[in-house]
Amino acid sequence: MTPLKRVLRAGFKGILRLYFRSIEEVGERPSPEVRGRVFVSNHSNALIDPILVLTHARCDISPLGKSTLWQIPGLKYLLDLADAVPIQRRRDDPNKDPRDNDKIFDKIAQHLRAGGNVLVFPEGTSHNEPHMIRLRTGAARMLERAAQLGARDLTFQAVGLEFDARGKFRSSAVVAYGPVRRFDELSGELVEQATRVMRDDLTALVIEGEDWDERRLVLRVAELLRNERGDVSLAEAVRIAQEVEHARDVLRAMHPEVARAVEQQVRDYFAALESSGLRDDQLSADGERLPTERLPKAAWLTLPLLPVGAVLYFLPYQLPRLVARRTDEIDQHSTLKLATGLVAYPLWAALLCAIAWRALDGRRARALSTLTIVAAPFAALYWLENLERLKRELRLARRSGALPALLARRAQTLAAIERARAAVTQG
């Protein structure tokens, strides 16, 4: 990996750490020494998906992307720095020469043979479905072609990406690595077999539903179970949700009436919870609130920067959301917000600094104003999030009269889930 590429990756990793509240990694994280591997990932969050994988896998990876991305000003330079490979799709160019695919596959195969790694999104495009769409065979064919050219020890690995609110700023993400598969250990029709294994591995890493309501239901059951256990990790929630998803399928097949009853119980409880303005993580099994996290004492020193940052950066804070609203494609929202913020915030900060330097005299005053302008948005973001948590605490105090009924309904819902679990276990 070149020094420039290393700096680029570290920079974007820092940007993602700011954009997301948390990013958790689970599973067999690839080491820096990995060579000749095809990484396959689900694709539901546009350019955020490849950036997450490329910045968190410790080995050097070349992503594959649709050729139209190279037409976006500024992005072409970054793609070339990342050694990305453009793939020209027939939908983008109806006059595409079929032989172009062979050239691309040969190029990628040679890259793998030389010990390079590639990232492929076998679904073919970012989408808004609540489940993975059909996987294409391109990733497996790349491996097959590399083997035909004499490459040895080829491997592939699934990378599952999950988000608690994929279109929102300061949401959370999970990067889950599946088992490493050796291509030369497969038998039969290699392309078909490899694609099937990729599909199975990805399915084991992500949460799916026939529709968004069904997927939301799985996540809500997982939320209940996670809060009951006291877990706060999104990665743990995803793991629980995968268990819930499997149990749901078994229960529907064996006891459909029990499945319908528990699903309705969960829907009713969360409807009551939402109408009260509360969240399940504010309640526990014995009716006590979950412990409130205390703020570090040093954080209080930044409190005066809250109104400064909120006022100075009001316009650039609104701009990413306004840009994202111009499309109904939810999978594009985070990409648009991130891209807009990367341009708007530095330019706005530079403008504010220029105004301050022109208006103020003296090196100390200018330095203090620059420090305030740079630090204020971060302090404001920190305090706005904590004030939101305080508002939830106050809402809970105001709704104290409704707590007994909510807690009783919560207990009934957990009991229904336990009965469903027992029905699955007993067969």
Q: What is the DSSP string of 246-309?
A: HHHHHHHHH-HHHHHHHHHHHHHHHHHHHHHT--GGG--TTSPPPPPPPPPGGGGGGTTHHHHH
Q: Which of 335, 334, 354, 342 is nearest to 316 (CA)?
A: 342
Contact (Cβ atoms closer than 8 angstroms) between residue 45 and residue 331 = yes
Both structure tokens of 61 = 């990876």
For 148-207, write each residue's pLDDT tens digit.
999 999 999 999 999 988 899 999 999 999 999 999 999 889 999 999 999 999 999 999
Please answer whether residues 122 and 87 qualify as being in contact, where contact means their C-beta atoms are separated by less than 8 angstroms.
Answer: no
Q: Which of 201, 246, 199 is nearest to 221 (CA)?
A: 246
Give the per-residue pLDDT at 49: 96
The continuous run of DSSP H or E covering 40 comes out as strand 37-41
Check residue 12 and give its pLDDT. 93
- At 300 the pLDDT is 87
CATH top-level class of 3-203: alpha beta
Q: Are 423 and 251 in contact (CB under 8 A)?
A: yes
* 9 close to 51: Cβ distance less than 8 angstroms: no
Report pLDDT for 400.
78
pLDDT at 80: 84
Q: What is the pLDDT of residue 90?
A: 62
Q: Please report, as a single letter, which amino acid is at residue 286.
A: D
Residue numbers of the chain with a pLDDT score lower than 70:
89-100, 231-232, 284-294, 427
* Partners of 118 in beta bridges: 38, 62
Q: If you search the block for the tokens 């840009």, which residue do you land on?
A: 323
Ordered by start, the domain boundaries in the chain are 3-203, 212-278+415-426, 297-398
The whole-number pLDDT of residue 228 equals 85
Task: For 28-45, write each residue's pLDDT tens digit.
Answer: 999 999 999 999 999 999
Among candidates 50, 77, 423, 98, which has minimal Cα distance to 261? 423
pLDDT at 232: 63
* Phi and psi angles of residue 246, each rounded to the nearest 5 degrees, phi first: -65, -45
Question: What is d(CA 414, CA 79) in angstroms, rounded to the nearest whole number?
Answer: 49
Query: To 5 degrees, how large is the angle CA 228–CA 232–CA 237?
Result: 75
CA distance 232 to 235: 9
For 39, the token pair is 């990484």
Residues in the chain, total: 427
**Beta strand pairing call for 62-66 and 22-27:** unpaired
Predicted pLDDT at 169: 92
DSSP codes joined into one string, 134-169: PPPSHHHHHHHHHHHTT--S-EEEEEEEEESSTTST
CA distance 127 to 310: 34
* Residue 221 in tokens: 């059951």
Find tokens 């490979």 and name the residue: 85
